Amino acid sequence: MSGSTQLISGVSANQNSQVVAGTIHGSVNFGSSENLNDVLSSLPTSEDAPFNTYQRQPDPACLPDARVDLLQKIYIWADGRDERCIFWLNGLAGTGKSTIARTVARRRFDEQQLGASFFFSRGGRDVNHADKFITSIAWQLANNIPSLHQHICDAIIERRDIASQSLRDIASQSLRDIASQSLRDQWQQLILRPLLKLARLLKTVRLRVLLTSRSEIPIRYGFRQLPNANLQDIVLHGISPSIVDHDISVFFEYNLKLIGQEHSLDDSWPGEEIIRSLIQIAGGLFIWAATACRFIQEGVFADERVQTLLEGSTYIPAQEEHPEVQLNKLYTTVLKESIWSGYSAKEKEALYGMQKHILGSIVVLFSPLSTSSLHRLLNITKQRIDQVLRELHAILDVPKVGIYPLRLHHPSFRDFLLDKKRCGDTNFWVDEKEAHHMLTNSCIQLMSSSLKQDICYMDAPGMLVVNIKRSRVEQCLPPEVQYACLYWIQHLQKSGARLCDNDQVHQFLQEHLLHWLEALGWMGKLSEGAHAIASLELFTSLSNCPGISSFIYDAKRFVLYNRPAIEQAPFQTYYSALVFAPTISIIRKQFEKWNAVIQTLEGHSNGVNAVAFAPDGKTLASESWDRTVKLWDAGSGALQQTLEGNSSGVNAVAYAPDGKTLATSGGSR
């Protein structure tokens, strides 16, 4: 799927999908609430999803004289009162779906009729999957439409697990299965199914949903399940070529005029004939026009860049050649022009290899990184990275400040680079599995050299996550280290590598498992780590390697059992979590020699089921099947008090926020 969109008037989704939620009649509140309900803030949301988020500021909208007829059709539908509550805008990659969606979202926002929007992006952090789609839409609706705020909060209070339970209700598969799917498959489970249900309910609600996606068979099949009365759709590449060519001509005339002024060229440059030639070569793809203009703009001599495009793209009538062929030629031209022809053969070979490594890493990253973070992750000097990217602004958004993330201008470049047939030239083609393999190695090497016990220099076993400043976490765990911690297992799986005992992964876990868990705890991402270990266990089952399989199995049990304690106080990874692990645990045996385990807290006559830290981090409560709860000094390990009186074994223990009351399954203590 390409970009997708939702408008209340709409929702959209796919690998570069958008959701614009929109046409609401009546007052809509767009101001940020200073006292946002704590209940609402508990929903997991994606900050990068809305159309007007900071990361999307460079993304363009339609020019005033372009796409006029199409936009008018969408606005008429949005304001209409018929049963067609869903508008599906679909087309080939590069036909302008996302730009149209942003234009509609902006107008509805300005008119205070936009309920929510969600723009998917294959290379975005929380927007490259559908996990937070529903909760993000709900959060935006609650904040933008006052009348919905209380209802949504009530639903959360009634079912505290609604964020995850809603996905279980939607999908017949397990969440782990869905999480491992591509966005295309997730779209079927987590977006289309709810829309099918929604379509039956929208007859009495003034709600409009605008979606955008590519015209792929699975998506078309899904939309066939919608009643015809509920759906209106437009295929962008099915619009009359004369209309599309007119809109592309508006784009060329506007942008080339600006380029001519920047380069002090004659007012008549480049001339109607050249513009007509460029329009023909574009073949109806706005992404070709946009990339071509950026390529021309970044050149020293704009007129020579135009000639390069014309010479490198022989026009063939659209009915004889797929439009993406010209896009492939354009991307190849940009890559070739980025390397100076005057370099020696040896220098070119080295630069081609460096370019392939850097670009390959960028296009398969699960979350974008800055050049500063990328050079530390890949262990390539920033100077080399800047040198490779210097002439690639036509396909990459390279911020002037090195701390901001790199972004592809369009996902079609990723498709081109990873497709050997489309790319053609082996100097540029990137083997996707090899790229993931290299990033796996980079992540493990970076973590091995960066992670350590007490990574945030707390020097206090009871320090709680809520009491540490985020700036300190960011300083001790910079973006590239956090990226490695979050995604190394995903890169490993995508690489197709087979694990074996005592390999790089096994050795890393044996030495740094607890360091990794502590880091995830400070990052607030331990749940992601638990899911990653579970998926790694499944991945390991494909190999006959009992050593690493047993270690990962025990690591999963260790994390799940101690997750509450580590999430509250990550430094306890080395203390209570390890101390209370079974004596036969592989994890305990591996790490019990560490100086961190300075004491074993003894006293229970039966197994320990759970532990909880007091809010101030000074006291540890442990509950056991021996029907007692014991209170320990977290610093010294001294037993402070034993609470007895339960008629049956205690099942759970938790402190009240004030730290003065301790609740167990047997009652309050």
pLDDT value of position 646: 65
Residues 247 and 232 in one domain: no
Confidence of residue 434 (pLDDT cuts 50, 70, 90): very high
Residues 254 and 317 in one domain: yes
DSSP annotation string for 554-621: HHHHHHHHHHHHHHH-GGGGTTHHHHTS-TT-HHHHHHTTSTT--------SS-EEEEEE-TTSSEEE
Q: What is the pLDDT of residues 272-296, one digit of tens each?
A: 999 999 999 999 999 999 999 999 9
Residues 557 and 615 in one domain: no
Confidence of residue 10 (pLDDT cuts 50, 70, 90): very low
Amino acid (one-letter) located at 491: H
Tell me: pLDDT of 320 over 80. no
Give the best-scoring range by mean pLDDT among 132-146, 162-176, 257-271. Answer: 257-271
Q: Which has the higher per-residue pLDDT, 588 or 523?
A: 523
Residues 204 and 317 in one domain: no
Q: Which residue has the tokens 């007007």?
A: 52
- Whether cis (ω within 30° of 0) applies to the bond prior to 270 is yes
Numbers of helices and strands, H then E, in the chain:
28, 16
Would 622 be classed as within a structural domain?
Answer: yes
Residues 326 and 354 in one domain: no
Assess contact for 31 and 25: CB atoms under 8 A.
no
Q: What is the pLDDT of residues 78-100, one digit of tens each?
A: 988 777 888 999 988 889 999 99
Residues 511 and 563 in one domain: yes
What is the mean pLDDT of the segment spanning 241-270?
Answer: 94
**Structure tokens given for 480:** 């590239």
Q: Which has the higher per-residue pLDDT, 57 or 263?
A: 263
Within 13 Å of residue 277, how many CA atoms lie on the same side as its CB? 14
Residue 495 has phi, psi (to 5 degrees) of -75, -20
Domain boundary among 375, 395, 430: 430
Element (H, E) at 350: helix 345-364
Tell me the pairing of strands 667-668 and 18-21: unpaired
Domain boundary among 175, 203, 238: 238
Indicate which CATH number applies to the domain containing 367. Answer: 1.10.10
Q: Which of 104-113, 140-149, 212-221, 375-384 has the lowest mean pLDDT?
A: 212-221
Residues 55 and 152 in one domain: yes
* Mean pLDDT of the chain, nearest integer: 81
Residues 331 and 358 in one domain: no
- The CA angle 663-664-665, to the nearest 5 degrees, is 135
**Residue 352 and residue 426: Cα distance in Å, rounded?**
10
Would 600 be classed as within a structural domain?
Answer: no
Q: How many domains, the chain? A: 5
What is the mean pLDDT of the segment spanning 59-63?
Answer: 88
Give the best-scoring range by mean pLDDT among 155-164, 321-330, 336-345. Answer: 336-345
Residues 583 and 624 in one domain: no
Would 597 be classed as within a structural domain?
Answer: no
Tell me: pLDDT of 526 over 80. yes
Assess contact for 600 and 639: CB atoms under 8 A.
no
Confidence of residue 488 (pLDDT cuts 50, 70, 90): very high
Tell me: pLDDT of 168 over 70. no
Would 435 be classed as within a structural domain?
Answer: no
Torsion of Cα atoms, 163 then 165 then 167 then 168, to 10°: 170
Would 565 be classed as within a structural domain?
Answer: yes
Q: Which has the higher per-residue pLDDT, 533 or 644?
A: 533
pLDDT value of position 179: 44
For residue 28, which of 145, 117, 108, 119 has the smallest C-alpha distance?
145
Domain boundary among 430, 456, 490: 430
Residues 227 and 350 in one domain: no
Confidence of residue 545 (pLDDT cuts 50, 70, 90): confident
Would 285 be classed as within a structural domain?
Answer: yes
Other Cβ atoms closer than 10 A to 255: 18
Residues 79 and 164 in one domain: yes
Assess contact for 83 and 201: CB atoms under 8 A.
no
Would 603 be classed as within a structural domain?
Answer: no
Three-state DSSP class for 283?
coil
pLDDT value of position 165: 52
pLDDT value of position 84: 82
Residues 332 and 213 in one domain: no
Confidence of residue 492 (pLDDT cuts 50, 70, 90): very high
Q: Which has the higher per-residue pLDDT, 36 or 427?
A: 427
Tell me: pLDDT of 25 over 70. no
Tell me: pLDDT of 46 over 70. yes
Q: In terms of residue numbers, what domain contains 308?
A: 241-337
Cβ-based neighbours of 556, under 8 Å, separated by 6 or more: 530, 533, 534, 537
Confidence of residue 255 (pLDDT cuts 50, 70, 90): very high
Would 179 be classed as within a structural domain?
Answer: yes
**Residue 504 and residue 165: Cα distance in Å, rounded?**
37
Residue 396 has phi, psi (to 5 degrees) of -125, 140
pLDDT value of position 172: 36
pLDDT value of position 316: 52
Tell me: pLDDT of 196 over 50. yes
pLDDT value of position 482: 98
- pTM for the model stands at 0.76
